[in-house]
Amino acid sequence: MNAAALEVTETKNTEAAATTPSVEGKTVAQLRTIARELAVSRGDSKSWIAGSTREAIVAYIQTGIIEEATQQHNVVVVDPANFNGNGNGHSNGSGVLDMLAAEIMKRGTAKSEFDADAVRAIVREETAGLKPQTVTHTIEVKRLDGSEKSVGVQHRNFAMLLALAQLRIPQLLSGPAGTGKTHAGHAAADALGLPFYCKSVGAQTTEVSLMGYMDATGQYRGTSFRKAYEQGGVFVLDEIDAGSPAVLIVLNSALANGSCSFPDGMIQRHADFVFIGTANTLGQGATREYVGRNPIDMATLDRFAYLDWAIDLDLELAIAGLETGGGMPFDFATKKAQDVRAYVDRVRAIRKAAEELRVRMIVSPRCVKYGVEMLRAGFKMEVIESLLVWNKVDSQTADKVRNAAR
């Protein structure tokens, strides 16, 4: 069955607080409008702060800087009243207030003009009366045969996973243990109406486990990978960074081309073959937490779009049967026309910067091939960069190359 043109709908059911909170006599909506007008009048909505004034801080709060910062730092602000430095999901435990202060400083505020304690006090005061909204998020899929399928509440990046699956772009979900990476693959198969196959790999996994073999009688003995590749289906290669790099290289041809050599001959890839890999690392070797992980050959890593599958706090609450907070699905799409030439030039600038800095990263023509497909499917350009380039390297390397490519 061909599932390439499915209609995917994100349903966000939002129940607001009983009364609209106000700040200094203004509703939140009014403050947002005022903040936008202030930003426009000063010419640049992201760099006009000159000090820790109440007007500026309130404007930043109401125009979404917190939401933007939380996405960048993998934080979900469940309750605005909890801006108290307890971490609330922030990776280094410094708290949302410190994160907000850092964001404002990064956007041009001189240290001599900046009073971090004053910012914290203002944020606490201005957000004291705000209460989170209750948000439930479900994925509805309308298939080509007219049937509809709901896969319920999913990870905030699930809609993006599904969009990449529809484009048949191989993807690697990288994130901590227990974040639902394998489950997401199963849910994607369910949504697409395709069979689901899964194979976990380790140090002892051999090429035969993936490609099959010819027995003593000359009969081919197949595998779940072969079945998905030839007949269609979602195939999840679980714990891919625990496998042998030499074995994983056999996947390169299968993922990059329309056919692959198996022990019994060349096999054409089915139009409905979807490949999803899962990992706990970036594929660059063992970490303190995941000591048994191996480096993955860069040519193999280049085949994937990388999805950062961090802990989703709202999904965690839903699993526990508790009321979810205000976290929303990651917004990766746009209805604006995308400039393909600008994207190609950007990829070339990143490649040149990486080569000049001699960092360990590949920016191949595949970034252009996949990226253009994603642009035409409505992905934002900055999201494409993250999926195909920045998510594959550590943040320090990404910042170094990003700055050099400007």
DSSP characters for 117-140?
A: HHHHHHHHHHHTT--PPEEEEEEE
Query: What is the rounded distance in angstroms from the CA atom of residue 51 to the CA atom of residue 46?
Result: 14
Q: Tokens in use for 236? A: 């999840």
The backbone region for 108, taken as left when phi is positive above 0, alpha when psi lies in -120 to 50, beta otherwise, is left
Give the H or E element holding residue 160: helix 158-166
The tens-digit pLDDT sequence of the chain (406 residues) is 444 445 555 555 444 433 333 334 444 444 444 444 444 443 333 333 333 345 555 555 544 444 444 444 333 332 333 333 333 333 333 344 455 555 555 544 444 344 555 555 665 665 555 444 444 456 777 666 677 778 888 888 998 999 999 999 999 999 999 999 999 999 999 999 999 999 999 988 999 999 999 999 999 999 999 999 999 999 999 999 999 888 888 889 899 888 999 999 999 999 999 999 999 998 888 888 898 898 888 889 999 999 999 988 888 887 787 766 555 566 787 877 778 999 999 999 999 999 999 998 899 999 999 999 999 888 999 999 999 999 888 888 999 999 999 8
Model confidence, pTM: 0.68
Q: What domains are defined for the chain?
A: 19-127 (no CATH), 155-404 (3.40.50.300)
* Beta-carbon count within 10 A of 19 CB: 8
pLDDT at 118: 57
Sign of CA dihedral 384, 233, 173, 329: positive
pLDDT at 327: 54
Query: What is the rounded distance in angstroms from the CA atom of residue 184 to the CA atom of residue 312?
Result: 13
pLDDT at 154: 86
Q: Rounded to the nearest 10 degrees, how much is the dihedral formed by the CA atoms of 103, 109, 111, 117?
A: -60
pLDDT at 286: 87
pLDDT at 331: 74
